[in-house]
Amino acid sequence: MIPASYPPQDEIARLTARMLWEIGAVHFMEDKPFIFASGLPSPVYIDCRKLISYPRIRSTLMDFLTCTVMRAAGFEAFDNIAGGETAGIPFAALVAERMGLPMTYVRKKPKGYGRNARIEGAMTEGQRVLLVEDLTTDGGSKLSFVDAIRDTGATCGHTAVIFYYGIFPQTVPALRAHGIDLHYLCTWWDVLAEAKAQGRFAPATLAEVEGFLTDPDGWRARHTG
């Protein structure tokens, strides 16, 4: 069922950040940095996959995401909801259920046998597709997923995520240059604000996180090697 009403966007951001803290999906460094798969250090870490195990929070955030997208893009703007492999798949299914639309998913690369497909499910030429994922950092993976969708003859001009890093200035321009509008619920700045409001960390930890969010490249240069 499509939600009939929803809070203003700033309240959605605050509540989303609060829920992410409540389930332990976000973490701030207190002694040593987290190391990502790229090898780069970070004082912050998020795991949106945890949301699938919390049905009340999961349901609320999917209502928020559905309403956020429809408010920005229109109530009859899509014909198909596609999830990005793998983290986006459950969230795409939940959004598709709310919108009453078909759901598909996009592989990161062709599976290498059979039809060698990247799109799983029924996607047809001319369909207007919404790409759903859990989060976006610099937006790079979205471009590949969108290109795979467009290769079917469908169109894709929108992507929706629960969490947007909000600290890399090139992300939104890069997506827009590719013809994609980004919709999201909250950013690291919202998570930091909620951490401060709840008094979760010592001032030194909060200052370290804020320094990273303000200048991630500079922070990493000081903490690499």
Q: Show the tokens assigned to 169.
A: 């200035």
Residues of the chain with pLDDT under 70: 1-5, 112-116, 225
Token pair 């793998």 is found at 86
Summarised one tens digit per residue, pLDDT across range 174-209 is: 999 999 999 999 999 999 999 999 999 999 999 999
Give the pTM: 0.93
Under a CB-based contact definition with an 8 Å cutoff, are residues 130 and 82 in contact?
yes
- Mention every residue, 6+ apart, whose C-beta is less than 8 A from residue 75: 2
pLDDT of residue 207: 94
Give the per-residue pLDDT at 225.
63
- Domain 9-220, second-level architecture: 3-Layer(aba) Sandwich (3.40)
32, 144, 212 from 44: Cα distances, Å: 11, 26, 9
Which residue, among 221, 204, 214, has the nearest Cα to 29 in the 3D structure? 204
Return the domain boundaries, the chain: 9-220
User: d(Cα 20, Cα 117) in Å, to the nearest integer?
Assistant: 34
Residue 110 has a pLDDT of 84
What are the strands, taking DSSP E only, across 65-127?
A: 80-84, 103-106, 119-120
